Amino acid sequence: MQLPLQPLVEQGAEFLRRRRDPRDDLRRLRGGSGSKTDHGDENMAVHWHALRVPCRTRLEKPPMPKPTILTALTRRSFLQSTAAASAWFVAPRILGNVLGANDRLNLGVIGTGGMGTAHLRGLTERRERDNVQVIRVCDLYRRRLNQAAQIIGGGEGSGTMEYREVLDDPEVDAVVIATPDHWHTKIAIEAMEAGKDVYCEKPLSLTVEQAIECRDAVRRTGRVLQVGPQRTSDDRFWKARDAIAAGRIGPVTWSQASYCRNSHDGQFNWHIDPDAGPANTPDAEGYVWWDRWLGWEWDLAPRIDWNADHFFRFRKYFAYNGGVATDLLYHLLAPLLLSISGPDGEYPARVVASGGLYIEKDERDIPDTFMMTVDYPTQHTVQLISVMTNDVGVPTVIHGQRGTLSLGERRIDIQEQAAWWKEFRQTNAGLFPYRMETNDKGERVPEPPPGKASFSVHNSPRRDHMGNFLDSVRGDDVPNCNVELGASTMVAIKMGVEAYRQSKTLLWDADSERVVAS
């Protein structure tokens, strides 16, 4: 008997529309009910789901130098591949080491500048608490590499300038990528193809195309990838997500956030070591593997002569990153999308941007004042601001038709809209003091008066961002900023950068997954 096609299509479409938290799927696999979230009060819970369609296309990569570490037998056994009998095809996981409950998690850190060193110190401090250790470090600047090896107490061979040695080391379970932005995607994809899970510092990539490639690599390999905007592990945004999903402020129409700084020395004018450069011998403290840092042979950045300002202060140049947009506004957009659109985020419809280089007019080509507006197909707009010449910004606020949600210190504050006070109080009954009074004319009036009712929801304890990644590698959780959220955030942010640089309004073609000019 042939089944009618249309009902099946409609059922599949409805399945895709129902979006619940992937943590519920994790609980069901363990035999739990999956009826709650762990993000706060039950009456503010919402479940999301995202179907990931596998991509089978492998990325073409240029040949890499032959690694100096030879393949060896791992101390852990490999999982046997299994296929689930399901109506939906699931991409097989590229296998790495199998971690038992008591196995120590071995990490490699690639890129040991400011953020990489911070991760090294943090992971060293949590070694016993989380049963984790860093066993390999990689950097292209000898001085930083030596310092990183000292931090982890590593012996000979723990440090390398060749990142492939880290990826090909069978003892490494996962890697932390803290290189300049133009290297993020290449290393992340190769790490996953080598069977490693990945913590990738924000932003996910340098370009839109790289973000899509990285997303597809996660779908193809089944590996864990956490992107680094740490506010996605801030409980305020999860509380906001629950409140929005429960309809507590009505339909969201726009939101705003800013990340502003000021510095007497100028933003990103970090210290330059005067003895650093490629002219040194490779074993000298000041040696920099400059050609590799550029990555010009893979078209990661243009080939130029040694430039200390570009190396030590790469955030000042569009060749290696997107300036304040990718460095700072990525931190804001990812958690806002988490709250408004769900754990997988949402791709934009239209992006415009403005600003300029008004004060810090040195060698840099990035703006010191930058503003972007993102319109989304689900009919809400996000406005983001980053200014490097004044540190007073705008508060983070999400605007709904019936109420306004503000992110306070360790809490969210929700204020009603006067025009919708009846609906607001009905939806949020029991969450704040409210009663009806009789005035001197004998009329029944609300107390407090329309527009004045508000309530707060305080943070609950939540695992920090790196801890969430470690739990995800062990199979105990899923990333708070997975590659779907990371890629959709990256697309919008990069569109903002290009809208500014080209003085154009840019549109996202969802069918072809390309940026087009209006």
CA dihedral 319, 310, 186, 177 (to 10 degrees): -130
Compute the Cα dihedral for 343, 196, 143, 295 and give only its sign.
negative
Q: The tokens 């001085």 sit on which residue?
A: 143
| pLDDT recorded at residue 440 | 86
Token pair 């700072």: residue: 328
Distance between CA atoms of 75 and 94, rounded to whole angstroms? 18
The pLDDT score that the predictor gives to residue 22 is: 56
User: Cα angle at 30 between 35 and 91, to 5 degrees?
Assistant: 100
Residue 92: what pLDDT?
64
Q: Quick one: fold of 235-265+322-462+488-517?
A: Dihydrodipicolinate Reductase; domain 2 (3.30.360)
What was the pLDDT predicted at 24? 56
Q: Comparing C-alpha atoms, which of 78, 258, 108, 262 is closest to residue 174? A: 108
- pLDDT values of the chain reduced to their tens digit, one per residue, 518 residues: 444 444 434 444 443 344 445 565 554 444 444 443 444 343 333 333 333 333 333 334 344 443 332 222 232 332 333 333 333 344 567 767 766 656 899 999 999 999 999 999 999 999 999 999 999 999 999 999 999 999 999 776 799 999 999 999 999 999 999 999 999 999 999 999 999 999 999 999 999 999 999 999 999 999 999 999 999 999 999 999 999 999 999 999 999 999 999 999 999 999 999 999 999 999 999 999 999 999 999 999 999 999 999 999 999 999 999 999 999 999 999 999 999 999 999 999 999 999 999 999 999 999 999 999 999 999 999 999 999 999 999 999 999 999 999 998 899 999 999 999 999 999 999 898 787 888 888 888 888 999 999 999 999 999 999 999 999 999 999 999 999 999 999 999 999 999 999 999 999 999 999 999 88
- Distance, in Å, from the CA atom of 154 to the CA atom of 401, rounded to the nearest integer, reads 57
At position 53, the amino acid (one-letter code) is V
Dihedral of CA atoms 159, 161, 163, 166 in degrees, nearest 10, equals -20
**Residue 66: its pLDDT value, please?**
36
Work out whether strand 369-376 and strand 350-356 pair parallel, antiparallel, or are unpaired: antiparallel
CA–CA gap between residue 360 and residue 377 (Å, rounded): 36
Partners of 411 in the β-ladder: 408, 458
* 3-class secondary-structure state, position 459: coil
CB 92 within 8 A of CB 81: yes
Distance in angstroms (rounded) separating the CA atoms of residues 280 and 149 = 20
Residue 134 has φ and ψ, to the nearest 5°, of -95, 120
- Give the integer Cα–Cα distance in Å for 47 and 37: 7
Sequence length of the chain is 518
Distance between CA 66 and CA 430 in Å, rounded? 65
* Three-class HEC string of 5-54: HHHHHHHHHHHHHCCCCHHHHHHHHCCCCCCCCCCCCHHHCCCCCCCCCC
pTM summary value: 0.82
